[in-house]
Amino acid sequence: MLKKIIVSNHQMYRQMSDFVTQYNENHIPTTAFQKLLLSVGSATVSLFDPQRADMIATMGETTGTHALKYMRDKMINNPEGSEILQLQPRINTSTVDLNKLRCMPENTLGYAYFKFLNHNKVTPDSRGSVQFIDDVELAYVMQRYREVHDLFHTVLGMPTNMLGEVTVKWIEAFQTKLPMTLSGGLFGAIRLKPKQREQYVQYYLPWAIQTGLNSNFMLNIYFEKRWEQPMEELHKELNIKPLEIINLK
């Protein structure tokens, strides 16, 4: 028993040091004035070029302090969320066995996540490191948010096109309070094609608002321990009623 505890503690601190080491390597200390300049500049660039993921990330980091504290507190007050904060797990191709997920039953979270990644040709390695958040715990919350974003898409049944991204951003805005998610929902909708805009107003936006207001906090889900969970069961746990997608074109 003692040996198991020692091994468990060793694994916990190793995982923590993995994130802290990366954080120390990438962290750029900035003053309040510098953060203000970065937030204004990144917001401006993001508005004109929403494909600039680096600018969107910078805006999220420099404007999200209060929201990150809110997210951290939600996690602290939940057993599963608190465990995530303690262990600081990472989601990338080094920690997730995608081949194993591919072989899981089709109704499971693991298979759905693999299918999402494969269909949309995305990788869990695409999320950049946090740079401008000075508190290491809040930095981890932001990193975790980034790394589970594709899992949010998976659980919500939303693709990675503009309509799917805008819909997810609205739900994230209600769940996380991050300013960047609200701006993404507002300004992203402007770029929708006419037919998408019609679907957005009639179906997706009302569903996103209802889901964002009524669903349970998704950052409290330790997804890595839920790969074998049926999606239907997870939806019930999160109080999410999936939107049936008829036509995204």
Binding-site residue numbers for Zn(2+) are 149-150, 153, 165
- In terms of Cα–Cα distance, which of 203, 152, 215 is closest to 181? 152
- In terms of Cα–Cα distance, which of 142, 197, 182 is closest to 23? 142
CB half-sphere exposure, 121, CA atoms < 13 A: 1
Q: Could you tell me how far CA 198 lies from the centroid of its own chain?
A: 27
**How many CB atoms sit inside 10 A of residue 30's CB?**
17
Integer angstrom CA distances of residue 164 from 55, 111, 190, 191: 20, 20, 14, 12
230, β-bridge pairs: 108
Buried b (16+ CB within 10 A) or exposed e, 85-100: bebbbbbeeeebeeee
Which parts are annotated binding residues?
Answer: 149-150, 153, 165
